[in-house]
Amino acid sequence: MRSADERDRLEQNKALIRRLVDEFLCKGDGGVLHEICAPNYRFWPVVYTAPEDRDGHASDNRATLHTIFPDLTATIEQQVAEGDWVATHHTLHGTHLAPMSTPVGTFAPTGKHVTWRSMSFHRIREGRIVEGWLSYNPTSILRQIGGMKPWPGDPGERTPGKDDISV
């Protein structure tokens, strides 16, 4: 059984990630990273091979996500904390209003509202985020803007709640 101090620390870690999602991801405030992330912070996005540092992550978020989806919102579906780590399952929503460059081409703005799910994992030390990992299915976004057709068994076609596995 966890001590009250340990439970409080885990709840504080989860609250820190909720602040990251709200202020940085949804509102685009890159300055908040200097408050909540350690100077040696590294972020590992799904679409790149090298990690981004704190300033690179702030710049990339503004240049891509908030330009392409300026009305971005996120809902935290589940959040689990254990040790130094917080795992978060999000559902994101936004309207495709700017060109989107991808490895398969650049897609002109469609004005379509899109929804996608993602998972993030963040490591926290001494009350600051030191590492972040993100995983999502970019083909889900491409399908919704008309850039890709679904294929049989595509996990992006799964309906949460409806297609959940019962045990």
Query: What is the C-alpha to C-alpha distance for residues 107 and 147, in angstroms, rounded to an integer?
Result: 7
Query: What is the C-alpha to C-alpha distance for residues 89 and 118, in angstroms, rounded to an integer?
Result: 6
Domains of the chain: which residue ranges? 4-150
Q: Mean pLDDT of residues grouped by 10 in the chain (167 residues)? A: 91 97 91 94 78 82 84 96 97 95 88 95 97 88 83 59 56
User: What's domain 4-150's architecture?
Assistant: Roll (3.10)
Nearest to 74 by CA among 9, 17, 12: 17
Q: What is the pTM for the complete model shown?
A: 0.84
The pLDDT of residue 1:
78
The pLDDT of residue 65:
85
Which residue type sits at 79? Q
Query: What is the C-alpha to C-alpha distance for residues 162 and 90, in angstroms, rounded to an integer?
Result: 17
Query: What is the C-alpha to C-alpha distance for residues 108 and 69, in angstroms, rounded to an integer?
Result: 13
